[in-house]
């Protein structure tokens, strides 16, 4: 039987499924005669999920079924499909008014219901698809992968039917071997009911592959829902310029999922891919890299790419990305503005250099400020989102005041209305240094289940809001939710400044080797 590969993107928020697209493109280049189809459940009404999947399998009769599962743990800090988990958690844990506390509890129950329903729904679709595919091909195989599956690969086995291949990280070479019917023992995967995941499987580095421009002419042929993402030019369409992240941020999973080795996609191929989308009416691009400029040694690569975008004549586009703003130069800033960057995110997490160092993030906050001045001088007048968390290890009143001072310095550069403070909480994620710290210090048991967020005692630990500042910041957030929920981040910063004042900016930019008073909290140490 000829190889027939069906990719099923499980329901999630309407984000362009770049991972599935790249998998299909890669496999077609390796096997030009292969038959493939992409089926995106994100474009299907919920009541039609099962019947639509049945029809697709009946029509296509795949012998390899690949499910992409993007979201599992929806305990996001702000906003979520089941409501606002941060607000629910803080109302339940910190509200003094019993009615508000009850509201938080009810909101939490709705979140739990949404969470469990999505788990059951998606696992049910996988089981249903696998069973139906076997009607037409008794030896059909099913692969389950995606960002969330990679993080929770150990726990997901109990939800999967026997024989499911659980893929961790990049899936291109795994699919190649399945099509060739070769052994997959060396790939980052395991088979439910047959093999166990190797110890520290997620920490194995992916095999580098040569990435060329995605052939969107072919993708259009195999993906009927492609036009959905071209409607009215509303979506930022993903384009990947590199894979991997060399950093060690204590709470981040990117480094282990993509590996620490940064693999640059050739600039000509990236521009060629963008051009195909541009010719189809796309003007908004999101560079999906973990970091667009992960280190200073990659500045030349970024300059080359942006200059080739200029040379291409695509002069009416906009793009956005995660940016390490300590890795910019005046030349690069000018190219960013010239090529249409209209939004970027800075994940500094704290405006205290001391805490940035302790979180192993590698940022130089003084350099970030100077580079932001360079961006402004180059003509950047759009939105900057700056991620802050006030629940990091060793957070203290003085470091909060430093973060406030740093944020006001950014506002002085770009304007208050252009700097959006995104308040988030560092959640405990598997396979991170922060998780190791929590286990070593008996905050979590080694055999805990990170998917058990429906249990309050697990959810509270994974939210990670330790005392003595936990209740204080909970109160701050509750006040912000009451006063201005539509501008939550700015309201939090204003309330904090009103209550605590600002530190001198120079204090925020200085990281002493030793504090005047040793911290009472244990320090995060990597294994």
Residue range 409-459, pLDDT digits in tens: 999 999 999 999 998 776 778 888 888 888 888 888 888 888 887 777 777
Q: Are the beta carbons of 380 and 326 closer than 8 angstroms?
A: no
- Contact yes or no for 216/280 (Cβ under 8 A): yes
Residue 311 has pLDDT above 80, yes or no: yes
Residue 190 has which token pair? Answer: 């395991």
Distance of CA 34 to the CA centre of its chain: 31
Instruction: State yes or no: pLDDT of 386 exceeds 80.
Output: yes
Cα separation, 38 vs 69, whole angstroms: 14
Contact 239, 288 (CB under 8 A): yes
CB 189 within 8 A of CB 167: yes
- The answer to whether 306 and 332 have CB atoms below 8 angstroms apart is yes
Q: How far apart are CA 377 and CA 372, in angstroms?
A: 9
Please state which CATH number belongs to domain 4-203.
3.40.50
- Cα distances from 70 to residues 18, 41, 278, 327, 337, in angstroms, run 11, 12, 26, 30, 31
Q: Is the distance from CB of 256 to CB of 320 less than 8 angstroms?
A: no
Please report the pLDDT score of residue 72 as a whole number: 65
Taking the CB of residue 7, how many other CB atoms lie within 10 A of it?
26
Q: How far apart are CA 434 and CA 487, in angstroms?
A: 29
Half-sphere exposure of 250 (CA within 13 A, CB side): 26
Peptide bond into 468 cis (omega under 30): yes
User: What integer pLDDT is reported at residue 516 of this predicted model?
Assistant: 40
Taking alpha carbons only, the member of 220, 197, 179 closest to residue 34 is 179
Secondary structure (DSSP) of 196-240 = -PPTTGGGSPPPP-------HHHHHHH-GGGGGGGGGG-SPEEE-
Lowest mean pLDDT among 37-51, 79-93, 250-264, 393-407: 79-93
Q: Is 164 left (phi over 0), alpha (psi -120 to 50) or beta?
A: beta
Q: What is the CATH number of domain 221-508?
A: 3.80.30.20
Q: Please tell me the predicted confidence (pLDDT) of residue 514.
A: 54
User: 3-state class of 139 per DSSP?
Assistant: coil
Q: Identify the pLDDT of residue 81.
A: 54
Higher pLDDT, 464 or 122: 122
Secondary structure element (H or E) that encloses residue 55, with its range = helix 49-60
Rg for the chain, CA atoms, rounded: 24
Instruction: Answer whether residue 462 shows pLDDT above 90.
Output: no
Distance CA 260, CA 246 (A): 4
pLDDT at residue 15, as a whole number: 83
Nearest to 422 by CA among 357, 492, 472: 492
Structure tokens at 289: 């890299």
Query: In percent, how much of the chain has pLDDT > 90?
Result: 65
Domain residue extents for the chain: 4-203, 221-508
Q: Is the pLDDT score of 524 beyond 60? A: no
List pLDDT tens digits, range 115-163.
888 889 999 999 999 999 999 999 999 999 998 899 899 999 999 999 9
**Of 458, 457, 500, 512, nearest in space to 475 by CA:** 500
Contact 3, 179 (CB under 8 A): yes
């Amino acid at each position: 039987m000829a190889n027939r590969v069906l990719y099923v993107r499980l329901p999630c928020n309407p984000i362009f499924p770049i991972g599935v697209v790249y998998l299909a493109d890669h496999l077609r280049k390796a096997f030009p005669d292969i038959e493939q189809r992409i089926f995106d459940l994100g474009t299907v009404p919920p009541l039609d999920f099962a019947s639509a999947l049945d029809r697709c399998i009946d029509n296509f009769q795949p012998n390899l079924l690949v499910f992409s599962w993007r979201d599992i743990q929806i305990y996001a800090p702000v906003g979520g499909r089941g409501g606002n988990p941060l607000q629910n958690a803080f109302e339940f844990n910190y509200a003094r008014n019993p009615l508000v506390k009850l509201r938080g509890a009810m909101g939490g129950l709705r979140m739990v219901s949404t969470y469990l329903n999505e788990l059951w729904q998606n696992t049910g679709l996988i089981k249903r698809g696998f069973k139906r595919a076997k009607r037409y091909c008794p030896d059909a195989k099913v692969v389950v992968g995606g960002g969330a599956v990679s993080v929770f690969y150990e726990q997901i086995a109990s939800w999967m039917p026997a024989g499911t291949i659980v893929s961790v990280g990049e899936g291109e070479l795994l699919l190649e071997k399945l099509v060739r019917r070769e052994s997959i023992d060396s790939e980052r995967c395991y088979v439910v009911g047959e093999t166990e995941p190797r110890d520290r499987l997620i920490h194995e580095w992916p095999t580098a592959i040569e990435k060329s421009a995605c052939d969107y002419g072919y993708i259009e042929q195999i993906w009927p829902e492609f036009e959905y993402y071209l409607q009215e030019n509303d979506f930022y369409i993903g384009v990947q310029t590199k894979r991997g992240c060399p950093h060690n941020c204590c709470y981040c999973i990117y480094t282990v999922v993509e590996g620490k080795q940064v693999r640059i996609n050739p600039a000509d191929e990236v521009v060629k891919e963008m051009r195909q989308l541009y010719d189809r009416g796309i003007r908004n691009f999101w560079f999906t890299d973990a970091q667009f400029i992960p280190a200073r040694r990659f500045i030349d690569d970024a300059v080359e790419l942006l200059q080739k975008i200029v040379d291409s004549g695509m002069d009416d586009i906009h793009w956005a990305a995660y940016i390490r703003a300590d890795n910019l130069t005046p030349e690069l800033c000018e190219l960013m503005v010239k090529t249409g960057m209209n939004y970027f995110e800075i994940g500094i997490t704290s405006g205290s250099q001391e805490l940035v160092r302790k979180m192993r993030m590698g940022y130089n906050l003084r350099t970030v400020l100077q580079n932001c001045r360079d961006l402004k001088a180059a003509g950047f007048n759009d939105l900057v989102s700056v991620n802050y968390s006030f629940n990091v290890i060793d957070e203290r009143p003085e470091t909060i005041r430093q973060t406030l001072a740093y944020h006001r310095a950014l506002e002085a550069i770009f304007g208050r209305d252009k700097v959006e403070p995104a308040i988030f909480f560092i959640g405990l994620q598997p396979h991170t240094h922060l998780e190791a710290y929590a286990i070593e210090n008996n905050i979590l048991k080694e055999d805990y289940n990170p998917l058990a967020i429906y249990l309050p005692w697990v959810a509270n630990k994974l939210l990670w809001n330790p005392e003595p500042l936990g209740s204080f910041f909970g109160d701050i957030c509750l006040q912000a939710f009451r006063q201005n929920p539509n501008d939550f981040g700015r309201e939090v910063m204003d309330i904090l400044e009103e209550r605590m004042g600002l530190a001198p900016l120079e204090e925020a930019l200085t990281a002493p080797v030793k504090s005047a008073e040793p911290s009472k909290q244990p320090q995060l140490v990597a294994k």
